[in-house]
Amino acid sequence: MTTSANTKSVKDYFLNNKTIGSIRVSSVDDGSDEVRLIFDMKLTSSQKEYIKDNVNKILNNNFYGKFEVMNVRTIENEVLNKNTGKFEDEIFNALKIKVEGLGSESTAPTAIQEAGSAFIMTQVLKKNKKFLSKEDILNDDETNKGLEKIFKNYKGSIREWVYSYFEHQKAFFKKFQPSQWDVFEHGGQDLMSFIKDQCAKVRTSSGQPVGRYETWNPSDIWVVKNKNEVKKKINEAIKPQTNPPSARLEELNNVLLNLVEDNKLIGLSLKKIDEKQVAKFKYVNISPKDIEFAKIEKIKMSDISFYIQTDQVKNDKGMMLQGAYVLFDDYRINIIRTPSSNFSNLKYESSITGSGGRGGAAPVELVQMMMKKRGINFINDNGKYPKTLSEFEKDGRDYKKMFNMLKTKVKISGYNKYEDFEERIIEMYKSNDKKSMSVAQSKLMQLDFFYSTLSTSNGKQAEFWTDLLYLSLKVGKRFAPHGKLA
């Protein structure tokens, strides 16, 4: 079984398999786009070639994606011997593996991933296909060719998604019979476009536009019975169409709920499923949340744990781990920067224990509104936080006070003293590496976020954190009824 090549997966492989033939790997470290294998020994030219050839074979046999194995280089450094106080020569060998992973050329856009899922579902629905494993999908000539046609220039991503496709169809058709439905639709197809149009025609209870479709309805694909009849019922439910619109979001949600209950229409939110995990089908916003999420509604503050990672990543840029998260019940809310080489705001994204799947991302603007209503003053705007060392030194926020207060409420891994944490932040700003500098900024934003929440009475209540989870799961009257495969 091959795995997508990225710095983490390649690094983890060699950490667990620390020999190349008979030659031992002394250590493994990684950077933003590379993995280095370190050999603390002298190597002959033939041994260097042997290592490079065998690492190539290992990667080709175990990974897919883009990677390049460089030549083994001998590196000489002068290091201080702490026992003698003298500088001594340090000689070691290093092999660099450049890893593009699923970069821009091989990562299939979301629309293609969703089209692939709808296609697999349709193969079961229309062609009576029976997929008992992901291999059945790949080995079925018609299905495999269909996926290749959908993925086109992104065929390398098919293997990345095929396990999720297998789990999605297994979980859905365990709940429903194929004969109950007519068609699966996605993206720009007729039904999805129609529902997006209806979303634009209604207003919230306060008379405001609903906003982006994705902030209201997380459905990636739709399954429908008697599509024309369904569209007619939705149209009738939100008439008359006036300017400005008088129809309310609650009316649209209610007609969708009735169609779901009648097994005429279901929007499906699809989450990627990790290998060896099992997808489950779950209705969301069908019943009151105290019924759907009874366990979550009983969560107390003592059941919630908070974490900020400040551990150093072992690479030449001295970066910190980016993680900060909240744990309770089967859920984890990651509060991290949006992945990018540039500065970015924090995002609030949940994941579900057991499936390996993401719960979803909370609409940032709704999180900001929720915090404001509860007297939490954190502003999720990277433009208001330091981007350079000079800006950090002039920043009026008391990060030391934040760090020391949070040590009593949050599990901070890595640095125990603020002075050590600050020194690392300064080094990251000094690196002039855009990613290191953006991670440094995000660590300061994480400190401010947790300090701003946990130092207020509302942030000390479990309800704030469960409501943040509900926003990420699109749970509540503000959101559409749908099904989740995660």
In a domain, 279, yes or no: no
How do residues 311-368 score in pLDDT, each as one tens digit?
A: 887 654 567 888 999 999 889 999 999 877 789 999 999 988 765 566 789 999 999 9
pLDDT computed for residue 276 by the predictor:
82
The model's confidence at residue 441, banded by pLDDT at 50, 70 and 90, is very high
- Yes or no: say if 333 and 431 are a contact pair by the CB < 8 Å rule: no
Mean pLDDT for 272-299 is 87
Whether residue 56 sits in one domain with residue 11: yes
Same domain flag for 317 and 454: yes
Residue 79 phi, psi dihedral angles, 5° rounding:
-125, 155
Tokens describing residue 39: 């050999």
pLDDT in tens, 6-60: 887 888 899 888 899 989 998 888 765 788 898 988 899 999 999 999 999 999 8
Tell me what the mean pLDDT of segment 126-139 comes to. 95
Q: How far apart are CA 385 and CA 67, in angstroms?
A: 35
C-beta of residue 230 within 8 angstroms of C-beta of residue 255:
no
Instruction: Dump pLDDT digits (tens) for 83-112.
Output: 555 545 567 888 999 886 543 345 688 889
SS3 358: strand
Q: Looking at residue 397, what is its pLDDT?
A: 97
Q: Are residues 29 and 156 in the same domain?
A: no
In a domain, 291, yes or no: no
**Is the CB of residue 289 less than 8 Å from the CB of residue 467?**
no
Pair 439, 324 in one domain: yes
Q: What share of the chain is helix, strand, coil (3-state, %, to 5)?
A: 45, 20, 35
* CB neighbour list of residue 22: distance below 8 Å, 6 or more residues apart: none
CA distances from 307 to 62, 333, 382 (A): 33, 10, 21
Domain boundary among 119, 154, 178: 178
Range of the domain at 61: 3-101
> Which pLDDT band, with edges at 50, 70 and 90, does 64 fall under?
confident
Alpha-carbon distance 411 to 395, whole Å? 25
The residue among 460, 476, 475 whose CA lies nearest residue 304 is: 460
Last-in-domain residue among 79, 101, 123: 101
- 145-180 pLDDT, tens digit per residue, is 999 999 988 887 898 899 999 999 999 999 999 999
Q: What is the pLDDT of residues 355-413, one digit of tens each?
A: 556 678 999 999 999 999 999 999 999 999 999 999 999 999 999 999 999 999 999 99
Which residues fall within 8 angstroms of residue 459, CB to CB, at 6 or more apart?
Answer: 374, 376, 452, 453
Query: What secondary structure does DSSP assign to 10-56, as a single string?
Result: HHHHHHH--EETTEEP-EEEE-SSEEEEEE-S---HHHHHHHHHHHH
Residues 174 and 187 in one domain: no
Q: Which residues contact 366 (CB under 8 A, 6 or more apart)?
A: 215, 471, 478
Q: Do residues 359 and 331 make contact, with C-beta atoms less than 8 angstroms apart? A: yes
Q: Are residues 310 and 408 in the same domain?
A: yes
460: CB partners within 8 A, 6+ apart: 301, 454
199 and 76 in a single domain? The answer is no
C-alpha–C-alpha distance, residues 486 and 470, integer Å: 15
pLDDT digits (tens, 9 = 90+) for 235-261: 998 876 677 777 899 999 999 999 999
353 and 457 in a common domain: yes
Instruction: Calculate the alpha carbon distances from 245 to 193, 207, 477 in Å.
Output: 19, 9, 19
Which residues make Cβ contacts (< 8 Å) with residue 144, sequence separation at least 6?
Answer: 137, 138
224 and 366 housed in the same domain: no
Answer yes or no: do 150 and 192 share one domain.
Answer: no
Same domain membership, residue 461 and residue 338: yes
Number of H helices, E strands in the chain: 18, 20
- Per-residue model confidence (pLDDT) at position 80: 43
How many folded domains does the chain comprise? 4
Q: Which residue has the tokens 């499906």?
A: 268
Does 328 share its domain with 404?
Answer: yes
Q: Answer whether residue 314 is part of any domain.
A: yes
Q: What is the pLDDT of residue 240?
A: 67
pTM: 0.72
Look at residues 107, 129, 140 and name the one whose alpha carbon lies nearest to residue 4.
107
Among residues 69, 101, 133, the one where a domain terminates is 101
